[in-house]
Amino acid sequence: VLLGIGDDAAAVRWAGSILLLTTDTLIEDVHFRRATASLVEIGAKALAVNLSDIAAMGGDPRFALLALAAPATLPVAQADQLVSGILEMAGAHRVGLIGGDTCASPDRIVVTITVAGSVDGEPLTRRGARPGDLVLVTGSLGASAAGLAALERGPLPLADHVVGSVLAAHRCPAPRVAEGRLIRASGAATAMIDLSDGLAVDLGHIAAESGVGAEVALAALPVGPPTRAVAEALGEDAGQFAARGGEDYELLFTVRPDAAADLARQVTAETGTPVTVVGRVTPAGRGVRFLDGAGAPVRLRAGFEHFA
Amino acid sequence: VLLGIGDDAAAVRWAGSILLLTTDTLIEDVHFRRATASLVEIGAKALAVNLSDIAAMGGDPRFALLALAAPATLPVAQADQLVSGILEMAGAHRVGLIGGDTCASPDRIVVTITVAGSVDGEPLTRRGARPGDLVLVTGSLGASAAGLAALERGPLPLADHVVGSVLAAHRCPAPRVAEGRLIRASGAATAMIDLSDGLAVDLGHIAAESGVGAEVALAALPVGPPTRAVAEALGEDAGQFAARGGEDYELLFTVRPDAAADLARQVTAETGTPVTVVGRVTPAGRGVRFLDGAGAPVRLRAGFEHFA
Who contacts A151 (Cβ-Cβ below 8 Å, separation ≥6)? Answer: A36, A167, A170
Q: How far apart are CA B46 and CA B66, in angstroms?
A: 9
Chain B residues inside the 8 Å CB shell of A29: 106
Residues of A in contact with B101 (CB under 8 A): 22-25
B39 band by pLDDT with thresholds 50, 70 and 90: very high
Instruction: Please report residues of A whose CB lies closer than 8 A to that of B22.
Output: 65, 99, 101
| Rounded distance between C-alpha atoms, residue A96 and residue A62, angstroms | 6
Q: Which residues of chain A have pLDDT under 70?
A: 301-308
Measured between alpha carbons, how far is A255 from A259 in angstroms, rounded to an integer?
7
CB contact under 8 A, B15 and A16: yes
Q: What is the pLDDT of residues B47-84, one digit of tens each?
A: 999 999 999 999 999 999 999 999 999 999 999 999 99
Whole-number pLDDT of residue B299: 83
pLDDT of residue B300: 79
Contacts of B248 (CB under 8 A, 6+ apart): B139, B140, B141, B142, B143, B144, B145, B169, B173, B195, B198
Contact of B30 with A110, CB cutoff 8 Å: no
What does the CA dihedral A258, A263, A268, A274 come to, rounded to 10 degrees?
-60
User: Could you tell me how far CA A303 lies from the centroid of its own chain?
Assistant: 16
- CA dist B109 and B83 (Å) reads 13
* Model confidence at B6: pLDDT above 80: no
| Distance, CA of A178 to chain centre | 14
Rounded (10°) CA dihedral B28, B32, B36, B41: -110
What pTM value is reported for the model?
0.92
Closest of B140, B142, B164 to residue B151, by C-alpha: B164
Is the separation of the CB atoms in A34 and A154 below 8 Å? no
Q: Is the pLDDT score of B37 beyond 70?
A: yes
Question: What percent of chain B stands above pLDDT 90?
Answer: 89
| pLDDT(B189) > 50 | yes
Q: Which of A101, A110, A116 sits opposite B69 (nearest CB)?
A: A110
CA distance A32 to chain B (A): 12
Cross-chain residue pair A106–B308, CB shorter than 8 Å: yes
Q: The sheet that has B17-27: what strands, in order across it?
A: B10-14, B17-27, B110-118, B60-70, B96-104
The pLDDT, as a whole number, for residue B301 is: 66
Q: Is A271 helix (H, G, I), strand (E, B) or coil?
A: helix
Q: Do B104 and A24 touch (CB under 8 A)?
A: no
Over chain B, what is the mean pLDDT?
94
Structure-derived torsion over alpha carbons of residues B217, B220, B224, B228, reported in degrees to the nearest 10: 50
A 8-47 residues with CB below 8 A of B?
9-10, 12, 14-17, 19, 21-25, 27, 29-31
- Per-residue pLDDT at B305: 36
pLDDT at position A6, please? 75
Mean pLDDT of B89-115: 95
CB of A99 within 8 Å of any CB in chain B? yes
- Cβ–Cβ contact B63 with A under 8 A: yes
Contact A27 B69 (CB under 8 A): yes
Question: Which residue spans within chain B are E strands per DSSP?
Answer: 10-14, 17-27, 60-70, 96-104, 110-118, 134-138, 189-194, 212-217, 251-255, 275-283, 288-291, 297-298
- Taking phi over 0 as left and psi of -120 to 50 as alpha, with beta for the rest, B8 belongs to alpha
- All residues of chain B having their beta carbon less than 8 Å from the beta carbon of residue A31 are 103
- pLDDT at residue A301, as a whole number: 66
B 104-123: CB under 8 A from A: 104-108, 110, 112, 114, 116, 118
Nearest to A21 among B12, B99, B107 (CB): B99
Question: How far is Cα A166 from Cα A159, in angstroms, rounded to an integer?
Answer: 12
CB contact under 8 A, B10 and A99: yes
Touching check for B2 and chain A: CB below 8 Å?
no
Q: Stretch B98-127: mean pLDDT, rounded? A: 94
Residue A308: what pLDDT?
29
| Contact status of B126 with chain A (Cβ, < 8 Å) | no
* A221: β partners: none
Subunit contact B96:A29, Cβ cutoff 8 A: no
Of B22, B96, B98, the CB nearest to A99: B22
**How far is the C-alpha of B140 from the C-alpha of B276, rounded, in Å?**
9
> Each residue of B288-300: pLDDT tens digit?
999 998 999 988 7
pLDDT at B302: 53
Least Cα separation, residue A100 to chain B (angstroms): 6
